Amino acid sequence: MSDSNVVVIAEQLQGQLQGITFELIGAARALASKLGVGVSVYLLGDTISGHCQKIITMGADIVYVVDDPQLSEYTTLTYRRAVLAVLEVICDPPPIILMGATTIGRDLAPRIASYLETGMTADTTELDIGDYEHTSKTDPAKAGLFKNILYAIRPTFGESLKARILGPWKHPQMATTRVGVMQALPEDTSRTGIVIPVPVIFQESDFRTKVIRTVRDMSTTVNLVDAKVIISAGAGLATAEGFRLVEDLASIFKDAVVGASRKAVDKGWISSAHQVGQTGKTVRPDLYIALGISGAIQHRVGMQNARTIIAVNKDPDAPIFKYAHYGIVADLYQVVPLLKKEFRRMTTDYLH
């Protein structure tokens, strides 16, 4: 079988499809249309075939499903074997394979890349297709014009620059993509696609690692990534107790989540599950309120795609005002009660 589609490796946790899968399909669709190909998704797990139709309605053309009881818990080698099983079925390597820059994606993607002896760009925030002309005096065999290759773009140097990373000599071209950065397509229930079940034959060496017990960290239930409203605070709060005020403001919104800058986390005022930014979560809410946050580049990269940003800071020169849609130069302790009163009065989709 030949399949030259852009590939997304779906991610599920305990049988639940993760949002990153749909974000990746959205990104893959854009790449695929530039290449004139389709989108294939590899779905791996135990009793997960019921998700195939949803994956198609979210933009996939073909779903290869490896549904096996041995995949009930994620382990690197069993999941790697499942991916290889699909690659064997389709014979030719796909042009591009995408995975989430999640705990699983960061573990699995390099294993697959090293097995396929190809490159992999981690943690991308933009993906594109373009040409590249390589001139090399030292290695003329590598020179040439490479058409329609993957531009894997990611921040570098403390997020102050963007690097465009290309791997024209090896296939497939692989990348992991940050959660919350790419946009999922709207669901289209009229879409049709093909589902191909793929059997997998494990080898003894795939079971070198065994999951004995899974203990879930309940603090990670803070769902910043899917939140429509995030009220974040930083060092300007001055004390841990300040977060009570933030929680109080959040409580008047339906499903609002409290976020934080790294400084607030480092001071021990709130757990790292709430951190937004380069080393925290990348978020895309409809409304992001930043209280006492200066707006350092490492914070900005995590929240700059919010639809509306409101910043409260007593320093008129704080960098956050350069990218906030609305700025209030004032002491947050005076402003938050007023904001709360005003938001209560408003009746928008966000409010109870």
Ligand X SMILES: Cc1cc2nc3c(=O)[nH]c(=O)nc-3n(C[C@H](O)[C@H](O)[C@H](O)COP(=O)(O)OP(=O)(O)OC[C@H]3O[C@@H](n4cnc5c(N)ncnc54)[C@H](O)[C@@H]3O)c2cc1C
Residues that bind ligand X (CB under 6 A): 158, 234-236, 261-264, 275-280, 292-294, 296, 298-299, 302, 312-315, 318, 331-333
- Tell the smallest beta-carbon distance from residue 259 to ligand X (Å): 9
DSSP state of 253: B
Of 81 and 299, which has the nearer Cβ to ligand X? 299
Tokens of 273: 């599950």
DSSP state of 2: B
Of 57 and 275, which has the nearer Cβ to ligand X? 275
- Tell the smallest beta-carbon distance from residue 312 to ligand X (Å): 6
Whether 320 contacts 295, CB under 8 Å: yes
257-260 β-sheet, strand order = 257-260, 229-233, 287-291, 308-313, 326-329
Cis geometry, peptide bond prior to residue 172 (ω within 30 degrees of 0): yes
- Tell the smallest beta-carbon distance from residue 289 to ligand X (Å): 12
d(CA 29, CA 9): 14
Place of tokens 């497939």: 172
- Tell the smallest beta-carbon distance from residue 320 to ligand X (Å): 7
- Tell the smallest beta-carbon distance from residue 125 to ligand X (Å): 13
Sort strands 326-329 and 308-313 into parallel, antiparallel or unpaired: parallel
- Tell the smallest beta-carbon distance from residue 234 to ligand X (Å): 2
- Tell the smallest beta-carbon distance from residue 244 to ligand X (Å): 15
Of 67 and 159, which has the nearer Cβ to ligand X? 159
Of 221 and 239, which has the nearer Cβ to ligand X? 239
Q: How many angstroms from the chain centroid is the CA of residue 16?
A: 16
Sort strands 39-45 and 6-9 into parallel, antiparallel or unpaired: parallel
d(CA 43, CA 200): 13
Of 132 and 333, which has the nearer Cβ to ligand X? 333
Of 47 and 279, which has the nearer Cβ to ligand X? 279
Q: Rg of the chain's alpha carbons, rounded to an integer?
A: 22
Helix (H, G, I), strand (E, B) or coil at 45: strand
Show Cβ contacts of residue 338 under 8 Å, excluding neighbours closer than 6 positions: none
Tokens of 257: 């989540």
